[in-house]
């Protein structure tokens, strides 16, 4: 769903020059969704579970997988930043677009890495 929303953001929801309330709500929704996905990665999905379940979810293998997910997300965000920096030399790149792309790529890579490693 997150990836579908990103496709809609790029194709349908083009930011207008004037910040409207609907744009603000849409942006806050995106930030909340991205933060929720990152919290689920950080807690292993057990943030709202009992203490016993959280202890089971915090085993060494789960921590190692999350560390790999964060490492992959970090490098993905660095590549987006480097690409944005290089593109800024040739064309105008808005800070909003670069921030959106960085956060989106970081969240998708972190969540996809955890999903991939948990299925192995």
Distance CA 76, CA 106 (A): 6
From first to last of its 120 residues, what are the pLDDT tens digits of the chain? 777 777 777 676 666 677 778 778 877 887 888 788 878 777 766 666 777 777 777 788 888 998 999 999 999 999 999 999 999 999 998 887 888 889 889 988 998 998 899 887
Closest CA to 111 of 46, 57, 29, 41: 41
Name the burial class of residue 28, with classes exposed (0-12), middle (13-18) and buried (19+) by CB atoms within 10 angstroms of its CB: exposed
Q: Is the pTM of this model over 0.85?
A: no
Domain that includes residue 26, residue range: 2-12+20-119
User: Contact, 15 vs 23, CB < 8 A?
Assistant: yes
Cα separation of 120 and 112, whole Å? 13
Domain count, the chain: 1
Please state the length of the chain.
120
């Amino acid at each position: 769903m997150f990836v579908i929303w990103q496709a809609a953001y790029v194709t349908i929801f083009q930011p207008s020059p004037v910040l409207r309330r609907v744009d603000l709500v849409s942006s806050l929704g995106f930030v909340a969704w991205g933060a929720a996905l990152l919290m689920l990665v950080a807690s292993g999905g057990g943030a709202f579970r009992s203490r016993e379940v959280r202890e089971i979810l915090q085993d060494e293998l789960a921590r190692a997988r999350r560390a790999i997910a964060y490492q992959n997300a970090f490098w993905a965000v660095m590549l987006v930043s480097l690409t944005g920096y290089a593109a800024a030399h040739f064309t105008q790149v808005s800070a909003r677009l670069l921030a959106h792309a960085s956060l989106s790529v970081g969240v998708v890579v972190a969540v996809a890495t955890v999903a991939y490693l948990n299925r192995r």
